[in-house]
Amino acid sequence: MREWNELFLDQMVWIVVGLAVVFLWLLIWNFIQGSKLRKMRKKYDLMMGGTGVEDLESLLIDLKLGQDRIEELQTKQDAEIAAIQGWLPKQKSKIGIKRYNAFGERGNDLSFSIAIVNDDKDGVVITGLYNRDGSYVYAKPLTKGESPHALSPEELEAIALAGLGE
């Protein structure tokens, strides 16, 4: 046992030096890690500043919920746009106007034909006839540019003018 004590005492200097080196190495390591942690904390505080949220997990959850709301709204908007695109060709947005003198009398071109149609040429043609004795207005329905009622050349021209807006 005495031999062990002498061996231990002989090596005590090396053990103490070794422990001191390990202690210094751990102390330096601790300072390095503390510095990295402070830098990370500054970046975290900068990122979280002004959000009104205490921790990163809450911020990420709020962002995810916001993203879900945006995606839901975008889905609704896509459906509305698709519906509107389905309605657009049916809108009576093409207009053709032809003014003329219906009776060949002296005077101005006070008679007119107006065609209001959609892309399929469905709609109406309205004709106003003017002479010295009075005015008359007629409306004729259109389906594919045709009407069950006889169309005058001026009405056909107004339909053609409306079709030029394509």
| Mean pLDDT on 3-10 | 80
The answer to whether 132 and 64 have CB atoms below 8 angstroms apart is: no
Residue 150, classed as helix, strand or coil, is: coil
- Alpha-carbon dihedral 148, 154, 155, 161, rounded to 10 degrees: 140
For residue 31 the two structure tokens come to: 């300072």
Q: Which two tokens stand for residue 70?
A: 């945006």
- pLDDT, tens digit, 9 for 90 and up, residues 32-88: 999 999 999 888 888 777 767 777 788 788 889 999 999 999 999 999 999 998 888
pLDDT at 10: 81
DSSP 49-105: TTS--SSHHHHHHHHHHHHHHHHHHHHHHHHHHHHHHHHGGGS--EEEEEEE-TT--
pLDDT value at residue 104: 73
Domain segments of the chain as ranges = 2-85, 91-163
Please check the confidence at residue 13 and state whether its pLDDT lies above 70: yes
Q: What is the mean pLDDT of residues 130-147?
A: 88
Residue 165, pLDDT score: 55
- The three-class DSSP label of residue 146 is strand
Q: Which long-range contacts (CB under 8 A, 24 or more apart) does 106-112 make?
A: 107/132, 111/154
Helix axes 56-87, 2-48, angle to 10 degrees: 40
pLDDT of residue 164: 67
Q: How far, in Å, CA of 84 to CA of 122, rounded?
A: 18
Residue 107: its pLDDT value, please?
Answer: 65
